[in-house]
Amino acid sequence: AQSVAQPEDQVNVAEGNPLTVKCTYSVSGNPYLFWYVQYPNRGLQFLLKYITGDNLVKGSYGFEAEFNKSQTSFHLKKPSALVSDSALYFCAVRDRDDYKLSFGAGTTVTVRA
Amino acid sequence: ETGVTQTPRHLVMGMTNKKSLKCEQHLGHNAMYWYKQSAKKPLELMFVYSLEERVENNSVPSRFSPECPNSSHLFLHLHTLQPEDSALYLCASSESWTGGYEQYFGPGTRLTVT
């Protein structure tokens, strides 16, 4: 069985401040990990993924995430948030021996000017 | 745009109606998916197709009937739906249903069942 937890329903930050969105996962084997973002009335957009190799993954729009196997975490980060980063963020995990992608419930990010 | 289109974008239907949702991907991918997104809940995988063959039917009620005539098109046929089926229905595609490939999502169809 696999699952994803996003412990914060909402994250509020001021523009220019660092942004962190937390994600922890549970899989029986080795994971593939993904972050997606959803803007109002839109589908999900792929941001970045961890497959193998370097634990620090860089993605679109200045986002990055760090895979931490011992803590089973894959937190999303951005050094300096923009108002346009305000959206709903989803973490997702897939066991390498499975095909099903499991999503977290999502974290709403609000960046105030 | 992600290369995945969905029509219609909005649909209101009564419980006795029959309607269909359409998805088309222009990415040359081999796998396509239907998801249901309800407020405050994780995305629910409904169906997976790989090269037009259904890989997974994730315990979805028979009032939802998928069809994949080719690797670029996916339909979701709806009949005798319930009000609790109101949700955003998302289509996605990926290069393969195995491996570490990311999925690309369409904008969704907002379905309201009255």
Token reading at B40 = 């405050």
pLDDT of residue B13: 92
- Is the CB of A44 less than 8 angstroms away from the CB of B55? no
Which residues in B lie closer than 8 A to residue A51 (C-beta atoms)? Answer: 100
Q: Measured between alpha carbons, how far is residue B102 from residues A48, A109, B10, B111 in Å?
A: 9, 22, 26, 26
Q: For residue A101, give how far its alpha carbon lies from the nearest alpha carbon of chain B (Å).
A: 8
Interfacial residues of A (vs B; Cβ cutoff 8 Å): 4, 32, 34, 36, 41-46, 49, 51-52, 90, 94, 96, 99-106
Q: Which of B42, B56, B105 sits opposite A43 (nearest CB)?
A: B105
Which residues in A lie closer than 8 A to residue B40 (C-beta atoms)? Answer: 105
Q: Measured between alpha carbons, how far is residue B90 from residues A49, B68, B83 in Å?
A: 20, 15, 18
**Residue B56 pLDDT level (bands cut at 50, 70, 90):** confident
Beta-carbon pairs below 8 A across chains A and B: 52
Of residues A99 and B7, the one with the higher pLDDT is B7
| B64-86 residue pLDDT tens | 999 999 999 999 999 999 999 99
Strand partners, A112: A14
Over 90: is that where the pLDDT of B105 sits? Answer: yes
Which residues in B lie closer than 8 A to residue A44 (C-beta atoms)? Answer: 43, 90, 92, 103, 105
pLDDT of residue B1: 66
A75 and A46 Cβ atoms separated by less than 8 Å: no
pLDDT of residue A26: 95
A23 and A74 Cβ atoms separated by less than 8 Å: yes
Provide, rounded to the nearest whole percent, the portion of chain A with pLDDT above 90: 85
Q: For residue B33, give how far its alpha carbon lies from the nearest alpha carbon of chain A (Å).
A: 10
Say which amino acid occupies B53.
E
Token reading at A15 = 């523009």
